[in-house]
């Protein structure tokens, strides 16, 4: 009997990535602009609308500053080989000597934000930040990176953090992906050694279901086991929490080994997700998870630790 039809081989998609790339470096030209657009889209009608609009202005200022920076100076291949051999980050946030582009970026952000509507405490902090000399800006940045900032400069942390994000993202963007290798522990960014602010689960063809941790400082993303604590690397005691009836795109991955949580974001549910924007806009989830006994694994420059009640916007009276 003759069969109708025929079988044909499926075309082989040579663009498909069977194994996801180890890391995705940030694109400085679009990173902060995309974040600003995401924040602006999340703001209308949000319980934290004034705060999200203020963060939008900061991301726009970061984007505006990108084109004004002198070219950063990358480490040599010897340094990169040294780091790889010891499973160390290539631009360790605590050891890397920032070049003049950091201060230039900090000043550009302050200038870009001049004239932006903001609450009086933020305006005062911005004036103090802009008034610092170069050495004082560098010293503040060191304290912020070490989480050793003083009580009187808490309101400046978000401006210093924005400048540090800008500097490290622009440096990371200059690297070659081949310059990156996993560091120990695997939960730390291979570029700068920071913890992840959140993770994303990819939806794109070829990397669907792959999970990437998103650096809280340089904005690099690196591939990571799907069910594993983003803080202590435990694979035991992991659970996922979200708000009943809330968005399925944002969950808290909780770990009972270290009693911390990190947000996990699903691009399949929402393709426009930005790790920083969506982390901050899902603050109600932080509050519930904190009340249930887990602490935030990675601090945010844009949140102020508030003891047992979780973290709060530093300018919650904004607007």
Q: How far is the CB of 232 from Zn ion (least distance, A)?
A: 3
For 270, counting Cβ atoms within 10 Å of its Cβ (0-12 exposed, 13-18 middle, 19+ buried), the class is: middle
Q: How far is the CB of 223 from Zn ion (least distance, A)?
A: 14
Q: How far is the CB of 168 from Zn ion (least distance, A)?
A: 6
Residue 155 vs 172, nearer CB to Zn ion: 172
Q: Within 10 A of 26 (CB to CB), how many other CB atoms are there?
A: 23
Q: How far is the CB of 107 from Zn ion (least distance, A)?
A: 23
Q: Are 297 and 290 a contacting pair, CB within 8 Å?
A: no
Residue 215 vs 283, nearer CB to Zn ion: 215
CA distance 132 to 121: 17
Residue 154: partners with Cβ closer than 8 Å, 6 or more residues away: 304, 314
Q: How far is the CB of 34 from Zn ion (least distance, A)?
A: 18
Residue 182 vs 206, nearer CB to Zn ion: 182
Alpha helices in the chain (DSSP H): 31-42, 49-66, 77-85, 101-113, 120-131, 134-145, 157-174, 275-281, 283-291
Q: Which residues are paired to 196 by β-bridges?
A: 215
Residue 110 vs 188, nearer CB to Zn ion: 188
Q: Within 10 A of 14 (CB to CB), how many other CB atoms are there?
A: 5
Q: How far is the CB of 125 from Zn ion (least distance, A)?
A: 25
CA distance 100 to 214: 26
Q: Which residues are paired to 238 by β-bridges?
A: 255
Residue 221 phi/psi, 5-degree rounding, is -115, 135
CA distance 224 to 199: 9
Exposure string (b/e) for 171-183, b if CB count within 10 Å is 16 or more?
Answer: bbbebeeebbbeb
Residue 183 vs 191, nearer CB to Zn ion: 191
Positions that interact with Zn ion (CB under 5 A): 189, 191-192, 194, 215, 217-218, 220, 229, 231-232, 234, 255, 257-258
């Amino acid at each position: 009997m003759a069969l109708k039809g025929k079988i044909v081989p499926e075309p082989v998609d040579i663009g498909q990535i069977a194994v996801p790339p180890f890391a995705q470096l940030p694109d400085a030209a679009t990173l902060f602009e995309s974040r600003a657009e995401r924040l602006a889209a999340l703001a209308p009608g949000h319980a934290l609308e004034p705060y999200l609009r203020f963060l939008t202005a900061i991301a726009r200022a970061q984007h505006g500053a990108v084109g004004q920076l002198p070219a950063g100076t990358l480490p040599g291949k010897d340094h990169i080989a040294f780091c790889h051999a010891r499973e160390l980050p290539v631009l360790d946030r605590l050891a890397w000597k920032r070049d003049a582009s950091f201060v230039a970026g900090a000043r550009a952000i302050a200038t870009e934000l001049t004239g932006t509507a903001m609450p009086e405490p933020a305006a005062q902090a911005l004036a103090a930040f802009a008034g610092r000399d170069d050495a004082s800006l560098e010293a503040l940045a060191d304290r912020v990176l070490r989480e050793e900032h003083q009580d009187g400069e808490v309101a400046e942390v978000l401006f210093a953090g924005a400048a540090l994000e800008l500097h490290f993202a622009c440096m990371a963007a200059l690297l070659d992906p081949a310059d990156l290798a996993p560091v120990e522990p695997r939960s730390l960014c291979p570029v700068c050694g920071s913890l992840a602010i959140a993770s994303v689960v990819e939806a794109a063809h070829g990397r669907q279901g792959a999970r990437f941790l998103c650096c809280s400082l340089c904005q690099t993303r690196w591939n990571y086991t799907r069910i594993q604590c983003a803080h202590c690397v435990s694979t035991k005691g992991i659970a996922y929490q979200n708000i009943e009836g809330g968005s399925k795109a944002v969950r808290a991955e909780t770990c009972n080994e270290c009693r911390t949580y990190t947000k996990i974001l699903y691009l399949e549910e929402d393709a426009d997700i930005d790790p920083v924007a969506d982390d901050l806009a899902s603050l109600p989830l932080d509050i519930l998870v904190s009340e249930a006994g887990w602490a935030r694994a990675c601090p945010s420059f844009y949140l102020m630790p508030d003891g047992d009640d979780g973290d709060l916007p530093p300018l919650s009276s904004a607007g």
